[in-house]
Amino acid sequence: MSKHLKFLTALAFGVAAAGLVAAGPASAKVEGDTIIIGSAISFTGKYSTNGIHASNGYNLGVKRVNEMGGVMVGGKAYKLKIKYYDDESTPLRTAQLAERLIKQDGIKFILGPYSSATTKAMAPITEKYKIPMVESEGASRSLFTQGYKYLFAVLSTSEQYLASSIALAAEIAKKNGRKPSDVRVAMAFENDPFSLDVRAGVIDDINKFGMKIVVDDKLPRDLADMSATLTKVKALKPDLLVVSGHSKGAATAARQIKELKIDVPMIAMTHCEAAKIVKLFGAATNDFLCPTQWAETLSYKGKYFGTAAEYDKLFKATYDGYKNVPYQAAQASAAVLVWKDAFERANSFDTEKLRQALSETNMKTFYGNIKFSKAGNNIAKPMVLRQIQNGKFNVVAPSKWASHKVNWPRKVPGM
């Protein structure tokens, strides 16, 4: 080994050490009059559409709180600020970034990533370091069975997403003089933690009604083609088609349902708003059923954004290109409000006191009521089912919140 090589090795390690030191600016949890909340979210990769919706929601929440006087702790007004990292839509990266936020950046407060898979990677680490995380985008119910104490989620869990569509199908069958057990269901789910969890909820309900499953396909990630499944659907003529595959999956499903002229009387899928399917595929998406965590037509109201409709208006005015505000953005803003509320009630930056304050959260917001169970999920807000009726999303189930009647069978103009 030569002197040069030795020098080179030393150089490499020196650069590495210097780089890593430089990589972590010494931003503490609170700097001057700013509270820094950390978030690793998907700016690139397959969840980037929703990751950006969510970060827009976070940013709008922060902006609003800061505009309205910031956060009062110990008689002093603090501004909120979010430190972001890109998790590339992979849990592999999330775990590394969680360590980085907590260990190097000294962050003590976390806003969750987008998707169940990444939240699953984040939660064990925040839990280990006893750092509270308020998350708004990880819905998998398995997150709330691990006994996590520092995890709080403002959204409803994923097994509730499409279950209401099964109940609705049973209801319609009864109305038409058929037995619910005669209903034949076709299912297409992306093979990822979130969609499989949605599937588990759907299967529970299908079994409850004794319905028949005629297609049960698990589709590859980053779903770009599901024509094989849809061809089967066309041949088997089920009464209900349920699809779940994040935004990409919803867009693919809507496109191919249009192209292949699938005429199932009832179609339900997740992520309709986030995938902007109405804007992309127009009338072909008529009468799709879309579960949502939140809708701008609901009568929720809170101090910070006013009503759900007012939030909707503000969001559209702030960010270009939204015909419908995705619930992913709304719940992200709600998560920021939860942090703000907890800081003020705890009146401290101590993570233990904050955890306690978070667990006692009971607030009314534009996003709905927020109250956490012992497991950390929000139990005060229902999931609602909307139908795309003439390009508009109208709430059709559950009946308590329904503003419109469900259209059945679905009608597509020109088909």
Partner 1 sequence: MNTRLRRTLPYAGLLIAGIAAPFLFPDYTFQFTVLWVMILFALTWDILGGQMGYNSLGNIAFFGVGMYICAVVQIGLYYDVAQYTASYGAVKVEFTAEQYFTGLAVGLIAAGLGAMVFSVILGWVVFGLRGPYFAIGTLGVALSAGELTGAWDYVGGGGGIALPIYPGEPDDRSLFFYALCFVLAMILFFLLRWIYLGRFGLAANAIRDDEEKAEGMGIHTMRYKTVGWAIAAFFLGISGALFGNMIGFIEPLEVAFPTVTFGLFMVVMCLLGGRGTLWGPVIGATLFHTFKEVTWTYLLGWQWVALGALIVVSVVFFQQGIVGWVKEKWPEKFGIAVDDRALAETEPDLDEAPSQRLRRQTEAAQ
Is there a contact between 104 and 27 (Cβ–Cβ < 8 Å)?
A: no
Q: Binding string to partner 1 for residues 96 to 115, with x set by CB under 8 A, is what?
A: x--xx--xx-----------
Residue 217 CB partners (closer than 8 Å, separation 6+): 187, 188, 189, 226, 228, 229, 232
Site string for partner 1, 377-406 (x = CB under 8 A): ------------------------------
Nearer to partner 1, 220 or 409 (CB): 220
Dihedral angle, C-alpha 37, 43, 45, 50, nearest 10 °? 80
Tokens of 88: 């590339």
Q: Which of residues 141-200 bind partner 1 (CB under 8 A)?
A: 141-142, 145-147, 190-193, 195-197, 200
Binders of partner 1 among 1-40, rule CB under 8 A?
1-6, 8-10, 12-13, 15-17, 19-24
- By CB under 8 A, the count of residues binding partner 1 is 60
Q: Any long-range contacts for 397-406 (C-beta under 8 Å, 24+ apart)?
A: 397/164, 397/165, 397/167, 397/168, 398/164, 401/298, 403/297, 406/168, 406/172, 406/289
Q: Which helix (H) or strand (E) holds 243?
A: strand 240-244
List Cα–Cα distances, 72 to 29, 255, 329, in angstroms. 16, 49, 25
303 binds partner 1 (CB under 8 A): no
Identify which range of 93-101, 303-311, 316-324, 353-361 contacts partner 1 by CB under 8 A. 93-101
Contact between 132 and 112 (Cβ < 8 Å): no
Pairing, β 110-111 against β 306-307: unpaired
CB of 118 to partner 1, least distance (A): 9
Closest CA to 115 of 190, 63, 200, 187: 190
Closest CA to 410 of 237, 284, 244: 284
Quick one: which segment of 137-145, 202-210, 236-244, 310-318 binds partner 1 (CB under 8 A)?
137-145
In whole angstroms, how close is the CB of 129 to partner 1 at the nearest point?
5
Write each residue from 197 to 236 as x if it is in contact with partner 1 (CB under 8 A), else as -, in one continuous string: x--x-----------------x-xx---------------
- Judged by CB under 8 A, the residue of 58, 85, 281, 294 near partner 1 is 85
**Site residues (vs partner 1, CB under 8 A):** 1-6, 8-10, 12-13, 15-17, 19-24, 43-44, 84-86, 88-92, 95-96, 99-100, 103-104, 117, 120-121, 124-125, 128-129, 140-142, 145-147, 190-193, 195-197, 200, 218, 220-221
